[in-house]
Amino acid sequence: MQSTIQPRWGRIAKGSVVDEAYLGIHDRFKDLPELTPRFGYIDESGTRDYQKVMTVALIVLEGKFSANKIHHEALNSLVPHRTRPETNTQFLASGMHYCDMSKKQRSLVGLVLSRHPIECFISCHYHETNETSHAARFSIYTKLLITCLEEALKTHRDLVVTIGQQGGWSGYCTPLIKDLQNVVTAASGQRGFRKAKFALQSAAKPGIQLADFYAGATRDHLLTSRGGRSTTPYDLIAHQVKEIKVQTTKNIPKEKG
């Protein structure tokens, strides 16, 4: 069974910077020619059983260099007085990883992201056991990734998608991309012509680090909202999240073997 969690809107003040950013998202995508490729980036958070919930985020940006520009702006918000290139490179490798950020840093980055025309598709799975094998967890991850892609293809006809590499990526790259291309083929049959290109890249790449932020912030939101608390980073980007698709064990293919 698949359910949907709708983003919360109550905390976004009408007329605020975040509200204006939200109102401009769909208009700016609408102005682009129909077959202009959009650029997507995918990353995950919480793949281990003890982390309680796994989230996969697919963000869609307007242009080829949008991720670099937004990432640079976010980086400047964290380290406004960067002067030495070696310092920039060192921070780039770790500082934009959501789980390594302080609460203040997450809020700063969330505010930067909230100002840009970013669309985000989220899928999540609540872990039900502490004994899931690696193969089973990867099956769950694949299903979440496919769900995000299916949702994005409902509104986008041409995507260039970059996926964050996981350990042993060279072994699963080819079958994973084949599965994703099958999703594109199915979407073309259901909704008209669709096309997409896929590649796997290091988690240090700007677009992947941005997707990591959305996956991490949403995961925090799902965990803390159960206790009635608010997660500020998610509140800042909630207007960009189309919806959160929740996968249960019944939706996940059984492990082969």
Q: What pLDDT is recorded for position 257? A: 33
What are the 10-residue block averages of pLDDT along the chain, 257 residues in total?
A: 52 51 55 75 89 94 95 89 52 70 93 97 88 82 96 96 87 91 95 94 94 96 75 90 84 45
Q: What pLDDT is recorded for position 133? A: 81
214-217 long-range contacts (CB < 8 A, ≥24 apart) are: 214/43, 214/57, 214/59, 214/113, 214/120, 214/122, 214/240, 214/241, 215/43, 215/44, 215/45, 215/55, 215/56, 215/57, 215/98, 215/122, 216/45, 216/55, 216/98, 216/99, 217/98, 217/106, 217/110
Q: What pLDDT is recorded for position 231? A: 63
Q: What pLDDT is recorded for position 36? A: 85
What CATH code is assigned to 2-251?
Answer: 3.30.420.10
Q: What pLDDT is recorded for position 122? A: 97
Q: What pLDDT is recorded for position 67? A: 96
d(CA 210, CA 222): 19
Q: What pLDDT is recorded for position 107? A: 94
Q: What pLDDT is recorded for position 256? A: 41
Is the entire prediction scored with pTM above 0.85? no
Residue spans of beta strands (DSSP E) within the chain: 2-5, 38-45, 53-61, 119-126, 158-164, 195-201, 241-247
